Structure 1
């Protein structure tokens, strides 16, 4: 398999050498093929994802895996000509009449390591940005989603040459060999633990990496918030894909005096949004389900109040202690701790005492508090009065900070992530720079304020 990896990589490198700067029409045409592949085979995509999960809502698949991809492709094709244009850079007056531009240049071969939780969209989304930037792509789907991995390996060769877009299937050993290739850029989406190994492997080749790692994304419910409105948004974010979402709200912080009202509102929102198993999603496999069961059992054994509406609905864990696994680890499932704090300052301190999350959700209409949260917290994204939906805005960067990852993509941010922003300097026929060449004249240096 290592030899196959290397041969595919070298074939893609050769293709880049032959066409180092694909035209706007070529890039749009590649994006069009991605859209056609997704549209024509959406029923196959739904079936493959449901086969991997055992049970997953078709509506949520279409929302999160198909609709989002098509929206991103349409936005990118529309905006691409603007992103590709050279941008004029300002010139110091002493160097006039020289000119300077910033020109986006394709990097070359981009590697994408996709996760299992959104196995179609998180495989295709990075490819959208990489193709927009003029690159070719090697994709390693997750071995934990074998049906969608097999579908990607089947469909992509029908729409792309191997030199444009190739799929490498396999387990951990293949993933390790994949991350060790000297890509021009490598994007990994997954856990922090695996992300560290990927970064170390890429560092041997000085390969730049984008890491989308997740973490524990908090939801702060401020004193002025409408608890019913907040609860509806939190349950939506936690219920989507059974909480197996890197930006799912991981725990809720609310003033202790409003804790009972928050619990009631969350319980009602769960009953309204998840009344039965019709739109339910299962844990990806038995091992992950056992992990989630262990988190819940430990909390129960330590005397936490548990409110469980059923096996496929968010389950509330009231005031768990900080040493419990459910508060130390990213949950990535239906467990939702709800924690009472003294006030908003304590909530902010609680968040800041922990690794920076991929998303911070805050429920408040207080402009002063919103400004405080903007200036005194760190997170990949800051979202007010909603959950998840910032991911559906193609013009916003998507990425983490610190423990939740490095680098961002989506839209123009993804285009620039997979481009080298090359500085170009154009000297004039009568350069002013001759004035600062030796032999140096002291009076002239003073006139030019250079000495």
Structure 2
């Protein structure tokens, strides 16, 4: 069977399963609390039972990625989110009482919001955290009473295959199913008449997903990325900031949508920061080239791209500083700092998605704020220091999906905080209750009493009623 015939069969199967899920949702549009919790319980049990298979699959995709990293970044966060949804779901499903406009509430009128399922949700997940970003959102999708069709990345094929196998063994395809295939299938996936699409990936691909979904007016949640800035204040603990930054650029090989991309640092602190970064790498990975805890690039193409970005910066006059005396090989890319690259450099223009960290010196914080505001809005903004005026300035004068002070990524692990981007870094948000609401329809529900308070608003209008409304036109 050639590739075109394979894609055709995959597309036919995808349409078949989508239609099954849509018909099943019509028959059972409001699943009970017990059924929703049962689905979440099956997800939890499925992940726990298949832990070894998941670890092996992710290792095969990345060539080298330690079992601890997969547990720490993929398995445990997914289980935590599923358990959080399960614990709070009964409370979230309760109607929200709202006030009825005076004086209607006094005569028996009642207002509330019912969060009802939206239907069938399409989840297009990426390769960098192939398990967490595929399965964790399904906690909120199931919690909201929906069904889900999952399209994982073909770049992490082993992980996608193991998810298809374990989901097929734990769920009826009318509840949850995995669609395997390449970019051509992803394009067709986005054209299905989903009730909502969640896409996690690059901004460029997100635009294609949005275009495909637009004819059907499908609501989208887009979790993207961007060149996430870090502002180091003169009041910062430079050693602590360097250690956290180097950790963030080495965990998962720096292949994280929330990974810091550009560090803005006072001019007088640059050399001290370079030294602190080198010391931090030695502390975190004493023998980095042989360290099995250090994750490789997802593919040789991706590794070559990162190396090309560093070479481009060096050729155009930027100072490129490897943080290790060792040299990476193949898909193992070791971290480097790139100091004050020009606007023509690729590292200035592109999200690196790897262990390269741009360092830009500054003398005035306002100049940093201006530069951040001139660029596409990032998914995360990070500040190290303890100057409250600087924190307030960055909070209210810049725009980003989230902001963290004296740490990195931490907001994404808080189940009670919404997670999402803004502008080029995404739209919509999920996690916890915000995810439950995101994958629900907030249906306004109003009950009138047996009285007829609006009778006076039907013609013919009395002089008294007309005068009453005339008097209300005032400041």
Q: TM-score range by the shorter chain?
A: over 0.9
> Conserved in 1, the CA contact under 8 Å of 2:147 and 2:176?
yes
Question: Which structure 2 residues correspond to residues 24-423 of structure 1 after superposition, within 5 A?
Answer: 24-96=33-105, 97=107, 98-276=109-287, 277-308=291-322, 309=324, 310=326, 311=328, 312-423=333-444
SS at match of 2:454: helix
Q: How far 1:381 sits from its partner (Å)? A: 0.4
Aligned length: 451
Name the CA distance, whole Å, in 2 between partners of 1:235 and 1:441: 75
Contact 1:94 1:432 in 2 (8 A): no
1:12 and 2:33 correspond: no
1:361-383 CA distance string (max 9 Å, x none) = 11122222212211111000011
Asked if the contact 2:24/2:174 (under 8 Å) is kept, the reply is: yes
Q: Deviations over 1:256-290 (max 9, x none)?
A: 12111222222211221122223111110010011
Asked if the contact 1:270/1:313 (under 8 Å) is kept, the reply is no
Deviation at 1:240, TM superposition (A): 1.3
Q: TM-score under structure 2 normalisation?
A: 0.93
Deviations 1:56-86 (A, max 9, x none): 1221111110110111111111111111110
The secondary structure found in structure 1 opposite 2:155 is coil
- Candidates 428, 432, 441, aligned match of 2:449: 428
Which whole-Å CA distance do the structure 2 matches of 1:256 and 1:94 have between them?
63
Inter-partner Cα distance in structure 2 for 1:349 and 1:255: 16
1:44 shift after superposition: 0.9
Deviation digits for residues 393-418 of structure 1 (CA, Å, limit 9, x no counterpart): 11111111000011111111111111
- Does the aligned pair in 1 maintain the 2:141–2:148 contact within 8 Å? yes
- The answer on whether the counterparts of 1:110 and 1:137 sit within 8 Å (CA) in structure 2 is yes
Give the whole-Å Cα distance in 2 for the aligned partners of 1:138 and 1:132. Answer: 15
Contact 1:130 1:415 in 2 (8 A): yes
Cα distance in 2 for residues equivalent to 1:88 and 1:130: 23
Please state whether the residue corresponding to 2:37 is helix, strand or coil. Answer: helix
Tell me if the contact between 1:219 and 1:234 (Cα under 8 Å) persists in the aligned partners: no
Deviations 1:317-355 (A, max 9, x none): 111112200110010001111110122211211211110
Secondary structure of residue in 1 paired with 2:140:
helix
CA contact (8 A) 2:79 2:136 kept: no
1:303 deviation in Å? 2.8
Tell me the equivalent position of 2:4.
none
Once structures 1 and 2 are overlaid, which stretch shifts more, 263-272 or 397-406? 263-272
Please report the RMSD computed on the Cα atoms of aligned residues, expressed in angstroms.
1.3
- In structure 1, distance between residues paired with 2:177 and 2:27: 18
Partner Cα separation in structure 2 for residue 372 and residue 431 of structure 1? 53
CA contact (8 A) 1:31 1:131 kept: yes
Contact 2:65 2:292 in 1 (8 A): no
What is the CA-CA distance between 1:313 and the residue it aligns to?
A: 3.6
Q: Give the gaps of 5 or more residues in structure 1.
A: none
**Cα drift, residue 441 of structure 1:** 2.7
User: What is the Cα deviation at residue 159 of structure 1?
Assistant: 0.8
User: What does the per-residue CA deviation read over 1:178-227, in whole Å, with 9 as the maximum and x for residues that have no partner?
Assistant: 11100000111111111100000001111111111101101110121111
Shift of 1:305: 2.1
Secondary structure, counterpart of 1:182 in structure 2: coil
Shift of 1:447: 4.2
Equivalent-residue separation in structure 1 for 2:457 and 2:442 (angstroms): 28
Report if the CA contact (8 A) 1:436-1:445 is conserved: no
Instruction: Give the stretch that moved more between structures: 141-150 or 265-274.
Output: 265-274
TM-score, reference length from structure 1: 0.97
The gaps in structure 2 that reach 5 residues or longer are 1-9
**Residue 94 of structure 1, CA deviation:** 4.1
CA distance in 2, matches of 1:57, 1:249: 22
